[in-house]
Amino acid sequence: MIVRVVVALGGNALLRRGQPLTVDNQRHNVRLAAQALAPLAGEHELVISHGNGPQVGLLALQGAACKPDEIYPLDILDAETEGMIGYLIEQELANILPVDRRCATLLTQVEVDASDPAFKRPSKPIGPVYQQAEAVALARDRNWSIAGDGKGFRRVVASPRPLRIIELPVIELLVDQGVIVICGGGGGIPVVRRNDGALIGVEAVIDKDFASALLAQELAAEAFLMLTDVDAVYRDWGSSEQRGIRCIAPADLRGFSFAAGSMGPKVTAACEFVEATGGVAGIGRLQDAYDILNGWAGTTVRNDCMSPAWWDEND
């Protein structure tokens, strides 16, 4: 049966941990991602979103050498990286799929609320690490918020919740015509609506998993996959009691605690998607994409998991 699947690619789809941010490394990793997604594309309707944190960070670092009035705002950087990453994914998929299976990259605006509390509590680090004196001076000169990050300081921006996908009608039109759509990269381009109804970009970063979950809901997708570099969701991660979760209902999954900066948003996004749609969410390794969709790998979140099922160490 053909189903509509939204896949959110983690940052490892473009860059392995510790790898230099070169074009060759990104292209090689995107080629591997395309190979993992090709079986899904061959059987189902497919929409792809992706991360862009390292790429935006690189552009922000390059921008740090510019004069203050020459620095591009975050919404522009998001648009640049959406186009660049989308181009790589689109090309690598097209190189291995049948010629009649078409792909398209769509720059995607995502509306947020200008009064979202996140704008009063910036928390998302972006760009390079600075020593304290330089960070304080930049914060003063450029009206930035800064926060400690390891041994240094970084700029932090708001991470508001996504409200709606502006280009949704276009995405639906393309998917209905059998096109694989690459969109919503990096959580999308953050925009707010002014009093006159016009849209304008803002200095913010939308969480990719929350934006992808919203995209999956609004597209009426049957399945939502978040693909990363861990094989499943684990309870008590890093302890001697850790256990991989095979299948679980949202209410049970919400009963466990997960790291706020890594697995936490994915778990919340999975629960929200399943609760809102009755569909299936999956979390696991990129190379296991096909098996995750079929419930053979990773963690499956669905309403009919009456009690949590665990991965055995020998599986």
- The reply to whether 208 belongs to the active site is yes
Is 188 in the active site?
Answer: no
Let me know if 25 is a catalytic residue. Answer: no
Q: Between the CA atoms of 75, 77, 83 and 89, what dihedral angle is there, to the nearest 10 degrees?
A: -110
**Cα 277 from Cα 266, distance rounded (Å):** 16
124 part of the active site: yes
Torsion sign, CA atoms 298, 301, 302, 306 = positive
Catalytic one among 208, 244, 282, 298? Answer: 208
CB-based burial, 172-182: b 16+ in 10 Å, e otherwise:
bebbeeebbbb
Task: Give the separation between CA 132 and CA 137, rounded to whole angstroms.
Answer: 9
How many other C-beta atoms are found inside a 10 Å radius of the C-beta of residue 23?
A: 9
Decide if 12 is catalytic.
Answer: yes
Catalytic member of 52, 124, 188, 244: 124
- Tell me the two tokens of residue 204: 């913010």
Catalytic residue among 51, 186, 266, 284: 266
Catalytic residue among 11, 186, 284, 298: 11
- The distance of Cα 265 from the centroid of its chain, to the nearest Å, equals 10
Give the catalytic positions in this structure. Answer: 11-12, 124, 208, 266
